[in-house]
Amino acid sequence: MLFQQQWRAIIWALFILVITGIPGSYIPGITTFWDWLQPDKIVHVFIFAVLSFAILYGVRSQYYQSKHRYYYAVIAVGSTAIYGLLTEVLQHYIFIGRHGNVYDVLADCVGALTGWLLFIWVNRKKISVHPANS
């Protein structure tokens, strides 16, 4: 049952794991807060937005009909953010030629929130048509 509903999210999560494990070239350390706005952060936001969106897409029928919509959002955003943290820990300690980065985790969290907001925007008519049941 889980795979039937979440196969998109599972496949995307595996894709993220593979691409975060590929050895990359050395990226200089971040010296200021504004330096975190590098092109790779946009990639982080994108891939984790897709993951968060895919998780919510897998439970969309429950999301539309539930008065506890934020429960599903917290699960999707929270699990995506935790997965982002996990990939950075793996990069720091396990993956060769990679290094974990706190700003990447921040970008992953922004991506998780972006995916939820995109899900709401894409499904705004369905969500408003299906008021939350008691």
Listed as ranges, residues in the chain with pLDDT below 70 are 1-3, 24-37, 128-134
Task: Compute the distance between CA of residue 51 and CA of residue 115 in angstroms, rounded to an integer.
Answer: 7
Tens digits of per-residue pLDDT, 74-93?
Answer: 999 999 999 999 999 999 99
Maximum separation of any 2 CA atoms in the chain, in Å: 53
Question: What confidence score (pLDDT) does residue 28 get?
Answer: 47
Indicate the pTM of the whole model: 0.79
